[in-house]
Chain A
């Protein structure tokens, strides 16, 4: 019940802070851009768009969300409430995956890349949770948005380069160890979807645990002395 309350709270927060409006605009923008592309480009462009934005929006937005909560001192109240840290983290990840899924499905449908909607959906939800967990681990430790942006640069390189490489044709099997590559494989319902699903799960669960630990630490260091 508390998890449901947290998710409702996070969805309301994201709505009030304009996330839905922003992504309605982005969705229309991306679809407009896809419409302008030649037919032969659309699938790869749609894959790239879905992967680089709605799927990984948590990586960018988690910094803003947690910094808002830190600056408004809301984390202090949550830390002394009966919620568990893992519920807090799960709520953040799931609530952001709602926007990720809705926007990705819209772009995916227009770009004609929904060869297997269930596989696409699973990849989006898991990938979004994974990227949000990455974002949360960084956001839990920082005090300013600049710090967040700087610290996420190496993460973005790690997340984006192999996946983009895979989209544009490089297909060595070992690349399937990369979570982003697994997402692309699942988006396209490729022959290695099952392996991709297992590897992606193998990334997402430990990252969720690490994000929970990072938030535990962040709750502990709220207020008081800084050493």
Chain B
């Protein structure tokens, strides 16, 4: 697969102390790559470097074939950014916002189709200030798609959405991936990251602590467990055993044989559990 993003030994600092330190990774064309990390870990700074806002970095950062610190004028024609918080003129309508931002690019997708894709067509002539938080989030998302960019940076794209709209938005992200778009997803939401990302990187204190597929990260740090509840001397007791050792758990086998189980379920560590285990930090 072709590499759309190539970062090698990237370091950057606002002061003398390194803020981003020795970061290296590649992202292939058509891949969804996730950044997970607590606030202040360096995710936004990394995104600012990748999108060409910060140019005084050390190391190499190539995006869409261009070294970012020396990018050409057309660099931003192929980059779309959906910020965590809506970035819209509140007194303009949704349609006016899309027309204005679209006019800044050479390419422009059909505005009506984009509005329809997030269910905003009938509200397109309302001022953005009259929109709910979820509506602004949806509008903000399609604004990033306006110019059909090859690389998309999405920062907490489902934040503030109800489950139905979050599902729709994740389907739209997957549709972009199907069109071979490269997507960088920055999120605290481990479920979104697990579902959407081919690979994720954990960022803490400006460094990548781990980088792999969500499945590999989860499986590398602990097996699935089985948790069961039964009654003993009038009290509920919980037992736990590794999934691959249930055959050795004589208590569990006797509870099954005597039909004494109150409940039983399997569970596996979440990406959040793995994040805490590897980094010693919480995502929020």
Which A residues are in CB contact (< 8 Å) with B25? Answer: none
Residues A81 and B83 in contact in the complex (CB < 8 Å), given A16-B91, A74-B88, A222-B53: no
Most buried by A among B45, B48, B52, B105: B48
Asked if B74 contacts A82 (CB within 8 A), the reply is yes
Q: Shortest beta-carbon distance, A23 to chain B, in Å?
A: 17
Task: Please measure, in the bound complex, the distance between the C-alpha atom of A189 and the C-alpha atom of B91, giving whole angstroms.
Answer: 41
Asked if B79 contacts A12 (CB within 8 A), the reply is no
Asked if A6 contacts B88 (CB within 8 A), the reply is no
- A: interface residue count bin: 20 to 34
Task: Please measure, in the bound complex, the distance between the C-alpha atom of A5 and the C-alpha atom of B101, giving whole angstroms.
Answer: 9
Task: Please measure, in the bound complex, the distance between the C-alpha atom of A227 and the C-alpha atom of B14, giving whole angstroms.
Answer: 7
Closest to B153 in A: A80
A17 located at the interface, meaning its Cβ lies under 8 Å from any Cβ of chain B in the complex: yes
Closest to A223 in B: B44
Asked if B88 contacts A9 (CB within 8 A), the reply is no
B81 located at the interface, meaning its Cβ lies under 8 Å from any Cβ of chain A in the complex: yes
Closest to B78 in A: A82
**From A9, A74, A80, A227, contact of B103 by CB (8 A):** A9
**From B45, B90, B143, contact of A225 by CB (8 A):** B45
Closest to A83 in B: B104
Asked if B76 contacts A5 (CB within 8 A), the reply is no
Interface of B is mostly: loop
Asked if B85 contacts A80 (CB within 8 A), the reply is no
Asked if B87 contacts A82 (CB within 8 A), the reply is no
- B: interface residue count bin: 35 or more
Closest to A219 in B: B53
Which B residues are in CB contact (< 8 Å) with A83? Answer: 104
Asked if B83 contacts A8 (CB within 8 A), the reply is no
Which B residues are in CB contact (< 8 Å) with A224? Answer: 44-45, 48
Which A residues are in CB contact (< 8 Å) with B90? Answer: 72
Asked if B87 contacts A72 (CB within 8 A), the reply is yes
Q: Shortest beta-carbon distance, B76 to chain A, in Å?
A: 4
Instruction: Write the B17-36 contact mask toward A (1 if CB under 8 angstroms, else 0).
Output: 00100000000000000000
Which residues 71-121 of A have a CB within 8 angstroms of B? Answer: 72-74, 76-84
Q: Shortest beta-carbon distance, A123 to chain B, in Å?
A: 31
**From B87, B92, B105, contact of A16 by CB (8 A):** B92
Which A residues are in CB contact (< 8 Å) with B81? Answer: 76-77, 80
Residues A227 and B15 in contact in the complex (CB < 8 Å), given A72-B90, A81-B104, A82-B76: yes
B77 located at the interface, meaning its Cβ lies under 8 Å from any Cβ of chain A in the complex: yes
Most buried by A among B15, B53, B75, B83: B53
**From A12, A79, A220, A225, contact of B96 by CB (8 A):** A12
Q: Shortest beta-carbon distance, B253 to chain A, in Å?
A: 55
Task: Please measure, in the bound complex, the distance between the C-alpha atom of A76 and the C-alpha atom of B51, giving whole angstroms.
Answer: 11
Asked if B45 contacts A82 (CB within 8 A), the reply is no
Asked if A82 contacts B96 (CB within 8 A), the reply is no
A165 located at the interface, meaning its Cβ lies under 8 Å from any Cβ of chain B in the complex: no
Residues A13 and B89 in contact in the complex (CB < 8 Å), given A77-B143, A220-B54, A225-B40: yes
Which B residues are in CB contact (< 8 Å) with A2? Answer: 104
Residues A225 and B14 in contact in the complex (CB < 8 Å), given A73-B83, A80-B51: yes
Asked if B77 contacts A82 (CB within 8 A), the reply is yes
B86 located at the interface, meaning its Cβ lies under 8 Å from any Cβ of chain A in the complex: yes
Instruction: Write the B44-82 contact mask toward A (1 if CB under 8 angstroms, else 0).
Output: 110010011110000000000000000001111101010
Most buried by B among A2, A74, A83, A220: A74
Task: Please measure, in the bound complex, the distance between the C-alpha atom of A55 and the C-alpha atom of B105, giving whole angstroms.
Answer: 33
Closest to A10 in B: B100
Closest to B104 in A: A81
Task: Please measure, in the bound complex, the distance between the C-alpha atom of A81 and the C-alpha atom of B106, giving whole angstroms.
Answer: 11
Asked if B19 contacts A225 (CB within 8 A), the reply is yes
18 more CB-based (< 8 A) A-B contacts, given A77-B143, A220-B53: A5-B104, A9-B100, A16-B89, A16-B92, A72-B87, A74-B87, A77-B87, A80-B53, A80-B79, A81-B104, A81-B105, A82-B76, A82-B77, A82-B104, A82-B106, A83-B104, A220-B48, A220-B54
User: Footprint of B on A, CB under 8 Å?
Assistant: 2, 5-6, 8-9, 12-13, 16-17, 72-74, 76-84, 219-220, 222-225, 227
Interface pairs (25), CB distance under 8 Å: A5-B104, A9-B100, A9-B103, A12-B100, A13-B91, A16-B91, A72-B86, A72-B87, A73-B83, A77-B83, A79-B53, A80-B76, A81-B105, A82-B75, A82-B76, A82-B104, A82-B106, A219-B53, A220-B53, A220-B54, A222-B48, A222-B53, A224-B48, A225-B14, A225-B45
